[in-house]
Amino acid sequence: MNAENEYRKRKGTRKMKMKKLLNNMMKLMIGAALFLAAPAMESEAAEYSVTPAEAVLYTNDSTVILSETDDAAVVLPEVAADLPVQVTGITSNGYFQIALDGQTFYIHGLGLSAAKADRQVYDVIMAQKAVFPEGMHWTNDNYYAWKGGTYTGGFGCAGFAFAVSDAAFGDTKAQVHKDYTNIKVGDILRVDNDTHSVIVLEVRDNSVIVAEGNYNASIHWGREIPKAQLIDPYSYIMTRY
């Protein structure tokens, strides 16, 4: 009986030792697996870094909204062009990090553009509405000395156009031309047989939207003029592009 108990005791001890050995081996195997996986995880985390940035860029014909920095992670495949987007970062693998409705998305570097020159000009001109509000009294008694170089300055409608133009273009000198297929935002148009000046806010297919001074003795924003009415033997365009 004692011999049998001794045998069982030794057998149980061997089982415990074997179990402990197996447990230790499993721990070593798991540790080794984690060790081997660590470089891969680190490599994945280091696939790209993000440099914080604060900028407003604009969508274009290549804009696609992505959930990750992966062209296959498409959230929105098409976006209207020329929409402002708040950029919050730039990734090392060529994407813009953006913020939309409190969430983070990505756009490939080709999918956003800087503001076009005419957009910047438009924004500056429209800011002048705070200085020259709609209906403000403005006649030939009002004079402005111009920096554009073609004229030293102007009264009334010309003075207003010159003032707004200087706000947008600074000291850039103007050039005169009569190519009515090449009108740009911020151009000053002499119209009505060279008797009135307007500044262009928007160019449409068959018309332009303008701002003007001395229009019924006041400042007026937003009149639409058909392009056909711009052309006559005496009128011309002054551009600072």
**Which tens digit of pLDDT belongs to each residue from 172-193?**
999 999 999 999 999 999 999 9
Beta strands in the chain (DSSP E): 50-59, 65-66, 74-76, 84-91, 95-100, 103-108, 112-113, 143-145, 153-155, 175-177, 188-191, 196-203, 207-212, 220-226, 236-239
107 shares its domain with 122: no
Shared-domain flag, residues 9 and 76: no
Residue 81 lies in a domain: yes
Q: Number of folded domains in the chain?
A: 3
pLDDT at 34 over 50: no
* pLDDT over threshold 60, residue 41: no
167 and 217 fall within a common domain: yes
pLDDT of amino acid 84: 86
Is residue 34 in some structural domain?
Answer: no
Comparing 6-10, 40-44, 176-180, which segment has the lowest mean pLDDT?
Answer: 40-44
What is the average pLDDT score of the chain? 85
